[in-house]
Structure 1
Amino acid sequence: MPLLPGAEPFRHDGGEVGVLVCHGFTGSPQSVRPWADYLAERGLTVSLPLLPGHGTRWQDMQITGWQDWYAEVDRELWRLRERCSEVFVCGLSMGGALALRLAAKHGDAVSGVVVVNPANKVHGVGARALPVVRHLVPSTKGIASDIAKEGGVEVGYDRVPLHAAYSFRRFLRMLDSELPQVTQPLLLLHSPQDHVVPPADSARVLARVSSLDVTERLLERSYHVATLDHDAETIFEDTYAFIGRLASSAALGTAPHG
């Protein structure tokens, strides 16, 4: 199945500091590629995988679930660990949830976490009916391109496959119980006006993690896909500053700054 334009995974070999960037549910690497590019241009080693079932057509996602998506980012984390002395995990929406689970599960292997509009719950009147409805209806309308910026477009599916949505819901419930295991420094950026993931999800994440070094930043001019929106540059700059503050100077010193 051919990939949608912009859905290709991305890797950049840089210095000793590695960054894993995770895209969202029904989205693709395109939605967070400028974030990955920004960090790569500054000499960091960056990995942005394409999650299984994403980047082609929504029917391909029907046969995947959270175990597939998580296994992909878990693999990439260990690839980065083999090559880098320190690794940070970043993610948008479901990508943020995946990043938080990596942090919860892998402790010292993750040096810090950056999440943008992280998902904590599947919302909407149909969420509770998913266990049954997914057997009757294959998909519902899509959630892509919630962007305030005029002309902003996210490469993602125009339908949400309900088997996958049910799996995602189960994943978020499990992750919520694991959030207290997150102890790493955390930078959480969220949009007060988000039509996909409400601010309550970010508040829940902040309330549940055990991290002592926590920074919260509001993205006042952006909707859900803030990495392609008016506040994108703020996200990129804050991420790089966060990594720069936490990474050892020896590791950062190996990175050519562009």
Structure 2
Amino acid sequence: MSPDPQHGPLSLPGTSSVGVLVLHGFTSTTASVAQWARAIHTAVDDDGAHPGVRVPLLPGHGTRWEDLAGQHWQDWRDAVDAEYWALRREHERVVVCGLSMGGALALHTAARRDVAGVLLVNPALALVNRMARFSHVLAPAVPSLEGIGSDIKHPAGLESAYDRTPLAAVAQLNTLMHHTVRMLPAVTAPAVVFRSDEDHVVSGSSADLLARRSRGEVLVVPLHESYHVATLDRDAPVVEATSRDAVQRLSRGEPFLHGDRA
């Protein structure tokens, strides 16, 4: 994959009290969450002001899979922190959002920073492939495996992602997930978790872990017509409308969560 502005950082300016940080998944690009981010940007406060929305391209992504192999999980964390503080300079409150690995990073941020809400699409706290836990051992002998992108139910769905998955980076993802799970009790912000009934990448136990260990309120929204990359799948309108409404309520001084809690 060569660098392409279509898959690069996205910034949607806004002047409401809320800033929103949207994070893409492992081996993917901002293209997988850009439509979601634009939908959130349509939220307005009582004066018609929109939230500011930032979608960074995480280190090692959007170029070659070999570049991702050289990254450490702290590189992703630090990049997210920089975006968080950029939003805090312009907005009173920040909502963090993420798909897959981006969900783990959003939760990691929520455990360490002051956030007003969390929006997650199939957050990665545990993987379906149990062999992934041995990636740190296998990486020296097996640098990469087949790509994991485009786990989409819609036959026309296509994710911009690497066609190879570097095992060294999988080992870093495992470390990120491990740290994030341990930090869940420090998450006090309300969260919406969009959970696909069938996901071939992330284990359904990820949503369960959050619901059990977080100290914030959690609303689980089931997605019946999508696989892992639900932001590009048949349930994308549900993800977009629910996320937009949550941010809009927050910007109008109303509760972030609405409806039945899990």
TM-score (norm 1): 0.91
1:174: Cα distance to partner?
Answer: 1.0
Q: Name the SS for the 2:89 alignment partner.
A: helix
Q: Which residue in the other structure is 2:248 paired with?
A: 244
Matched, 1:105 2:106: no
SS at match of 2:179: helix
Which residue is equivalent to 2:77? 70
Greater displacement, 76-85 / 35-44: 35-44
The aligned counterpart of 1:117 is 122
Give, in angstroms, the shift of residue 131 of structure 1. Answer: 2.1
Structure 1 residues 210-249: aligned runs within 5 Å: 210-211=215-216, 213-249=217-253
2:202 alignment counterpart = 197
CA distance in 2, matches of 1:5, 1:173: 33
Distance 2:8 2:134 in 1: 34
> What is the match of residue 10 of structure 2?
10
* Cα shift at 1:227: 0.3
Which of 45, 56, 65 aligns to 2:52? It is 45
Instruction: Give the SS at the match of 2:212.
Output: helix
- What is the percentage of aligned positions where both structures have the same residue? 43
Instruction: Tell me the residue number matched to 1:254.
Output: none
Deviates most, 183-192 or 35-44: 35-44
Distance 1:123 1:228 in 2: 20
Say if 2:132 is the partner of 1:131.
no
Distance 1:128 1:40, change over 3 A: closer
| Deviation for aligned residue 1:248 | 4.3
**Aligned residue in 2 for 1:256:** none
Is residue 96 from structure 1 mapped to residue 95 from structure 2 by the alignment? no
Cα deviation code 1:59-89 (max 9, x no counterpart): 1101112111111111100000000111100
Q: Deviations over 1:86-124 (max 9, x none)?
A: 110000000011000110001xx2100010100112442
CA contact (8 A) 1:116 1:190 kept: yes
Residue 145 of structure 1 and its aligned partner are, at CA, apart by 0.3
Alignment match, 1:35: 36
- Residue correspondences, number: 247
Structure 1 residues without counterparts, runs of 5 or longer: 251-258
Aligned partner of residue 189 in structure 1, secondary structure: strand
Rounded Cα–Cα distance in structure 1 between residues aligned with 2:60 and 2:37? 21
Distance in 1 (alpha carbons) for counterparts of 2:120 and 2:130: 26
Look up the SS of the partner of 1:53 in the other structure.
Answer: coil
Whether the aligned pair in 2 keeps the contact of 1:182 and 1:210 (CA below 8 Å) is yes
Deviates more, 1:133-142 or 1:239-248: 239-248
Secondary structure of 1:147's aligned partner: coil
Q: How many Å apart are 1:4 and its aligned residue?
A: 4.3
Q: For residue 6 of structure 2, give the secondary structure of its aligned residue in structure 1.
A: coil
Alpha carbons 2:116, 2:190 under 8 Å: kept: yes
Distance 1:76 1:132, change over 3 A: same
Partner residue, 1:26: 27
Question: How big is the shift at 1:125?
Answer: 4.0
Structure 2: gaps of 5 or more residues: 44-49, 255-262
For residue 5 of structure 1, report the CA deviation from its aligned partner.
Answer: 6.3
Amino acid at match of 2:14: G
For 1:90 and 1:128, the matched residues in 2 are separated by 25
Matched-pair contact (CA < 8 Å) for 1:5–1:155: no
Q: What is the CA-CA distance between 1:38 and the residue it aligns to?
A: 1.2
Compute the displacement of 1:52 (Å): 0.4
CA offset at residue 150 of structure 1?
2.0
